Amino acid sequence: MKNPYKDKSWFKFLSNKYIWSLLFFVIWMLFLDNYSYFDHRVLDNQIGELEDNKTYYQEEIKKDEAQIKQLKNPLQVEKYAREKYYMKKDSEDIYIIEFEGDTIEKQ
């Protein structure tokens, strides 16, 4: 019995062993391999997030270094302690006045 599709171009294309090998290789690389395309996409997204975190933390380090430089001055240390921790000298009294509806957050 003769195959009626043997002379068709699409049949010749699909019956080629190199096409099947290529198709198998592409499916393997996209879905099944440990280093598949989809795994790489996830890893690339994680790398992007980590690089964003890196830039954020580098900026925070620069801010902290500037603040540390300011705190080397004894007057700045005193100012910081008074503003942040409500510290006072022995001969002083501190009154904290809060208004209703203040938008300043306490830290």
Same-domain status, 4 and 31: yes
Is the pLDDT at 24 greater than 60, yes or no? Answer: yes
Q: What is the mean pLDDT of residues 6-23?
A: 83
In whole angstroms, what is the distance from residue 47 CA to residue 82 CA? 42
State the residue range of the domain holding 85.
37-89
In a domain, 10, yes or no: yes
**Of 68 and 98, the one with more pLDDT:** 68
pTM of the entire predicted model:
0.52
Confidence band of 45 (pLDDT split at 50, 70, 90) = very high
In Å, what is the CA distance from 104 to each residue of 3, 41, 87, 107? Answer: 85, 43, 19, 9
N- to C-terminal Cα separation, the chain: 88
The pLDDT of residue 105 is 65
The reply to whether 100 falls in a domain is no
- Clarify whether residues 48 and 17 are in a common domain: no
